[in-house]
Structure 1
Amino acid sequence: MSLTAHAEFSCPYCMAKNDLEIDEENDLNQQQIADCQICCSPIEVIVTAGYDGGFNIVAKTDSE
């Protein structure tokens, strides 16, 4: 059994889909900085638990 879950989000700079591995024990409700896999811009990512058992991912630019 994997300890991480897979999720996707769109880069707020270039709108490209990015993959994110989420550790449900440690990553929920934490702010992270991730670089876009396409344009390499820094993205502020916040992961919260979703109502349907999934995840809500908020991805913002550093100026938001």
Structure 2
Amino acid sequence: MKRGNRYRIYPNKEQKVLMEKHFGSTRFVYNKLLNIKSTLYRKCRISISEFDLNNHLLVLKEIYP
């Protein structure tokens, strides 16, 4: 049987801003890489690996600093 714990945090204003930036950038990167993966599969029937997607992060970092 799996167990879980719940925690509640009370961040201050500065911490809220940092968390929102972090979650926003994480969502942005996920959506960009998902778009790349789905476009490649739709157009060329090529399935790109997770390793190749991780290498593409460097390109995204240069385009979107």
- When normalised by structure 1's length, the TM-score is 0.23
Q: Which has the higher contact order (CA 8 A, sep 6+)?
A: 1
Counting strand residues as a fraction of each chain, which structure ranks higher?
A: 1
Counting helix residues as a fraction of each chain, which structure ranks higher?
A: 2
* Rg larger for: 2
